[in-house]
Amino acid sequence: MRLLRVACNAALLALLTCAVIAEDFGYGGREGPAHWGESFKRCSGKHQSPINIDALQVVPRRFREFQIHGLERVPRDIKLTNNGHTVLVNMYYNDNMEPHMSNGPLRSDAVHVFEQFHFHWGINDSMGSEDTINNRAYPAELHVVIRSMEYTNFSQALGQDHGIAVFAFFFKITQADNPNYVEFTKKLQFIKRKGESVDLDTPISLGSFISTDVQHYYSYVGSLTTPPCSEAVVWVDFEKPIEISEFQLQFFRQLTASDEHLRNNFRPTQPLNNRTVFRNIPPEPPKPNESENAAGQIARLGIGGLLGLSLLTALELKGRFLVAFN
């Protein structure tokens, strides 16, 4: 009887293991994006991400100006984890101190709170980003995932209208290292295998990791770019890329030496299927009134400018005098 019980337990364990493997996903072969829909039905949906953004086809729209609070706050801890698909970054704050966002293309009555951020990259500089602009791919992309505070956790917000949003930032290669990524990229050598985690020795703010321009962006409604591919996700793709050196980007690419899942860990672009992509029109700078204009012009002219203006006025008067007596 005991042997039978052991055999049954072993069979159950094997069955569960097969089920987990069957629902795993990767970026190549039988586990690649072309087969995700076989295990994750939502990955075959009509409003999937990523997409190619054709700048000639976007619709200009002036969204309400983003209200983003807490980007400068430094968390207690920052943990980097190799989850087998990406470098997942969790930031741990004191109670109610997480960064939060509202306005922009987000629903007007909702406030979104920071959840996590992660990365996608390619094996060379010609590929790596998930969304593309005019069919151009960037070498890497950062996704800041935020959740509507109407829902108590990420799982509850999945699939809900404006429940989840993703702020996407592209990377571009520069010669100089990005100082905000120096320790971060060096720590990647300690998480080469799935399940490994490491903490940053010196936590920095979320704002240090992203682009400073949050006024110029594209937006559309899509999905998560990994299974379960839940839809109704609001995407915000910022135009200004984050700078990173080739040396720093290589630390991401070295993770593929231990896990093929991390080789080109980006999903190919999906059909737009009649969705609208918007491009935000930034607010116009305030116009000073006429008195401020006059004062501003005098201030800009300075003493030298005023003397020059006086000389021109004198010459003009002299010219009129000569005309009058000839």
**Domains annotated on the chain, with CATH:** 46-280 (3.10.200.10)
Contact 261, 33 (CB under 8 A): no
Predicted pLDDT of residue 256 = 81
Closest by Cα among 177, 184, 225 to 203: 184
Catalytic residues: 85
Query: In a 10 Å sphere around its CB, with 0-12 CB exposed, 13-18 middle and 19+ buried, how is residue 183 labelled?
Result: middle
Predicted pLDDT of residue 311 = 45
Distance CA 89, CA 79 (A): 6
Predicted pLDDT of residue 130 = 98
Contact 139, 120 (CB under 8 A): no
Distance CA 219, CA 131 (A): 11
Buried b vs exposed e over 292-325: b needs ≥16 C-beta within 10 Å? eeeeeeeeeeeeeeeeeeeeeeeeeeeeeeeeee
Segments in the chain below pLDDT 70: 1-23, 257, 289-326
Q: Report pLDDT digits (tens) over 71-95.
A: 999 999 999 999 999 999 999 999 9
* Gyration radius from the chain CA atoms: 27
Predicted pLDDT of residue 164 = 98
Predicted pLDDT of residue 292 = 53
Distance CA 15, CA 4 (A): 16
Predicted pLDDT of residue 295 = 53
Predicted pLDDT of residue 109 = 87
pTM: 0.81
Predicted pLDDT of residue 140 = 98
Predicted pLDDT of residue 283 = 85
Predicted pLDDT of residue 302 = 54
Give the position of tokens 């400073």: 212
Alpha carbon of 273 to those of 24, 220, 266: distances in Å?
27, 12, 20
Distance CA 181, CA 86 (A): 17
Distance CA 218, CA 61 (A): 10
